[in-house]
Structure 1
Amino acid sequence: MSVSPTLEAPGGSVEATALRVLIVDDETLARKRVRRLLQGEARVDVIGECANGPDAVAVIREQAPDLVLLDVQMPGMDGLAVIDAVGADRMPPVVFVTAHEAYARQAFDVHAVDYLLKPFDQDRLHEALNRARRRCGSRADNGLPVQLAELVQDMQRRRSHLQRIAVRTDGRVLLVPVSEVDWLESAGNYICLHSGSQTHIVRETMARLEEQLDPARFARIHRSTMINLNRIRELQPYFHGDYKVLLEDGTELTLSRNYRENLMSRLGLAN
């Protein structure tokens, strides 16, 4: 282990050792970029790089880094599987690195786990490292294992739900990520899937599709309408207990009183 000289930290405290960081990412260029950014940080010692999950598990067990910059999506064993293999109670502080997947970032926020969204800059990395230092220096912080364990369970549950919807059009199959779906409406055994300015038609029933979508992300607001909860901008009282639901793109939909209690509960607005 390499150790940096004693440096005066902001606020007058003295830190004698470097923050020992392990980089885990299956992309060579991504690892090189992270290492280059870390070279611009004081009191940081990169102890190694891993291009896959099994190697990461071995290095974490053997070298016990202070911090792991962990790519979420890797072939074979991904970042969450790494935590599962090492054990949440034995994992050092983690900063997850992700290129997309809105549901992943949402889960990180819920469980108060830090993450970096690719491509990130020096300032964002510096901010994440500062938070990691505070965690490493707080021996009383026993909440991390619980947060990581809950995160792994949450992400595994989310991944068990449908992530893309297959749309057959003009002799080809278009795979639409559910994160890009704004709202859906049923017409018999067909679903109109609204995504931005596009509308796709899928041969499926609303009831069956509802079973396959993540209930933390989608909710029925009418027997023939389901919405992406992240697209809601405003709720306005309407007639006879109904509400108007305004989406971010200006679309107006009706929230039936039969579905009002469920939606309010999902949004944390239940009495």
Structure 2
Amino acid sequence: MIAPRDEALRILVADDEAPARQRLIDLLQKDSRVGIIFEASDGQAAVEIIEREAPDLIFLDVQMPELSGLEVIEAIGAAAMPLTIFVTAYDQHAIRAFEANALDYLLKPFSDERLEAALARAKTRHDERSVQEFGRNILRMVSATPPVDRRIDRLVVRTAGTTRFIRVVDIDWIEAAGVYVNLHVGGKELLYRASINELTDRFDPMRFIRVHRSAIVNIDSIVELQPISHGEFELVLKDGHRSRVSRTYRGLLEKRLGQSL
């Protein structure tokens, strides 16, 4: 079904200044297409809300504590980001914002009319995406080609002039390192060029669990689980490493274990 034009938009407002967030929220609530509005006062909170709630649109401040607006996009991945409108008081960020595939750019202080124009553009783009997704779903339904299993059981790692074949099941845990990841295998650390999102998609989800935006662990390497606070836990692995299980990813671990933590 094609999304109706009056489909409510789920919007995240991410800005470290409370008055700026409230003004945006007050203006957005006047629009009949706006549904749930989430708030984030720093970049880390924005990442967690995007991963947990998958909003349709985000108004993203460029300069925030924890992670900047551009670092939020880097953490999520540009392709996985919701429609994004940057909001900032510094126009020198405009070029980098559009390089990050921003839909629009609001320079503080902006007028009500300028926000309305940006929101109208976002609603149009959202409707276009809905129609495109409908088309892709139809193609998938009528395609006779069986899905390709993209899971891999070995990684080819080149280091110090040597090419090594690493069995995926031998990896204890993986941590993000920019455009690379660090593979922890039997107490050794190997650098491998891939994003953590890519490996999450291509590893067996029954064995490898995402526990944090920057960490994947092999469930067979977990020795014990220790509570920290506020619904977060810390994993202790066979190699002695400790990895925090964030609230965002706790549900994945509980689903794999088939029980609550």
TM-score (norm 2): 0.45
Report the TM-score, using the length of structure 1 for normalisation.
0.44
